[in-house]
Chains A and B, each alone.
Chain A
Amino acid sequence: MNALGWLILVVVVIVALALVFTVVRRRSRSGGVIATKPPRRGRGGPS
């Protein structure tokens, strides 16, 4: 492979890594609407 081939390969790898990084970062930053857990029923209470 000549120099141009290596250059294209390096550019493609860098772009692919940047895309993966962006997708992972965006997913970790994405939020939601979270419901808290319902309170646990107490044990040993009056029956």
Chain B
Amino acid sequence: MARATDLIGLPVVTFAGEDIAEIKDVVYEPAQGGLVGFTLNKRGFFAGRLKLVLAMDAVHALGRDAVMVEDESALVDTREAPEAMTDASSERNVIGAAVITDGGKQLGTVTDVVVSLGTGAEAVGYELGGSAITAEHGRRPLFIPLPEQLAVSGEALMVPAEVEAFVRDDLSGFGAAVADFRARLHHESEPR
């Protein structure tokens, strides 16, 4: 598990050891939770934005210190990238967005998105801050798990009300909370 913002600035490295780009934006698909890919910056402090993107399919491994790709051909022009990548706009940055349960309760605002690393990387939770719930926990950031299928309604980040029972204040035990939460949703959706 890692915070999505920790991926920002990571180098994109080829198998030949070349450092070819740097992660700018992490693009994910909220309905399914999967990471779609990354927009890129050129390497170097004063270098600007790269007009190429890295789709998740072309990523060999997503690690804590680098994003590994086979070679430079992994970076593609935005016109050749998946449609979801070409639509990526900083106006749809979820950091700072409000999270509301389907019961109508505002849980807080997103301070980060928790992603699972390795193959099949996906967004598995939100880190929240600035709400009555975080105030109850000494204003520490809280983590809420996301279901595998998330209803997306317009601009709102909606989560099931059941998520409140799985709120954690520590990322180390968060993987188990995600698994428990998803198991409970599966159990509830099974016909009796």
Using a CB–CB cutoff of 8 Å, the interface residues on chain A facing chain B are 25, 28-39
Which residues of the partner chain B approach A30 to less than 8 Å between Cβ atoms?
Answer: 8
Majority SS of interface residues in chain B? mixed
Name 29 A/B residue pairs within 8 A (Cβ), A-sorted: A25-B45, A28-B49, A29-B24, A29-B41, A29-B48, A29-B49, A30-B8, A31-B5, A31-B23, A31-B39, A31-B41, A32-B93, A32-B94, A33-B5, A33-B94, A33-B95, A34-B26, A34-B39, A34-B90, A35-B28, A36-B27, A36-B29, A36-B36, A36-B84, A36-B87, A37-B84, A37-B87, A37-B92, A38-B154
CB < 8 Å A-B pair total: 71
Which residues of the partner chain A approach B30 to less than 8 Å between Cβ atoms?
Answer: 35-36, 38
A27 to chain B, nearest CB (A): 10
Interface magnitude class on chain B: 35 or more
Which residues of the partner chain B approach A28 to less than 8 Å between Cβ atoms?
Answer: 48-49
Q: Knowing A33-B112, A36-B27 are in contact, say whether A25-B88 is a contact too (CB < 8 A).
A: no
Which one, B39, B48, B94, B95, contacts A25 given CB within 8 A? B48
Which B-chain residue is minimally distant from A32 (CB atoms)?
A: B93
Contact between chains at A32 and B95 (CB < 8 Å): yes
Q: Which of B2-36 contact A (CB under 8 A)?
A: 4-5, 8-9, 23-31, 36
How distant is the Cα of A46 from the Cα of B5 in the complex, in angstroms? 42
Which residues of the partner chain B approach A37 to less than 8 Å between Cβ atoms?
Answer: 84, 87, 92
